[in-house]
Amino acid sequence: MLRAKRYLIVLGVAAAVLTTVLVLSPFYRGHDRAVDRSPVVGEGATVLYRTTYLLCGYREEREAAVWPELVGCTQEEFMKHHPGWTLLSFSPTRIELERQVEAICPDMVSYRFLTISDGKVAVYYGRSRDHLLLKEVTPVDARTLLPEDRELLQQGVLVEGDGEVTRFLEGLGD
């Protein structure tokens, strides 16, 4: 009889301990699945978008506020709204995304930079001497240019689009 009482007491204590552990456990909380503790996008969060243009090697970064409808989203929900992007980091206040694009950068699509290269008029994609990609070397010989046109081209001429390149080249020597 004493042995049965001890057994019941030990069994009761074990049941109480097990119940306490289960109730306090993050795996319980009223259901069979774990409580999701992953971070969500917070109010006022920012996103850093980093794009690398593979054809010119240029990297562009821009920062923007998170779209209001994405506040409260988990990482997985957020990424569903950004196909083609790779997630670099995710926190409630800042998200960093990256993508690589098989194209030239937007400035190079729109602008042309004309200058003299190896005695010829050369046309480059882009708007800055620091970041140019050769489009073509024209047959226009720099020695045949008027001195003021040659000086202008040595400094570099920025135009927008191929139509402006054609107009500029046609106007040389006029």
pLDDT for 136-146, tens place per residue?
999 999 999 99
In the chain, what percentage of residues exceed pLDDT 70?
78
What's the farthest any 2 CA atoms get from each other in the chain?
A: 121
The pLDDT-based confidence of 32 (bands split at 50, 70, 90) is: very low
Q: Among all chains, which residue has been given the structure tokens 């030990």?
A: 10
- Could you write out the DSSP letters of every residue in 58-127? EEEEEEEEPPGGGTT-BHHHHHHTSTT-EEEEE-SSEEEEEEEESS--HHHHHEEEEEEETTEEEEEEEE
pLDDT for 68-99, tens place per residue?
999 999 999 999 999 999 999 999 999 999 99
Reference 173, options 153, 155, 147; nearest CA is 147
Distances (CA, A) of 144 to 120, 139, 141, 165: 10, 11, 6, 18
Amino acid sitting at position 15: A
pTM for this one?
0.58
The pLDDT-based confidence of 29 (bands split at 50, 70, 90) is: very low
Distances (CA, A) of 162 to 25, 103, 140, 150, 167: 68, 18, 16, 20, 9
Distance CA 134, CA 23 (A): 69
pLDDT over threshold 80, residue 7 = no
Full strand arrangement of the beta sheet holding 46-53 = 58-65, 46-53, 94-101, 86-90
The alpha carbon dihedral of 150, 156, 159, 165 has a sign of positive
pLDDT for 96-131, tens place per residue?
999 999 988 887 888 999 999 999 999 999 887 777
Distance CA 10, CA 8 (A): 6
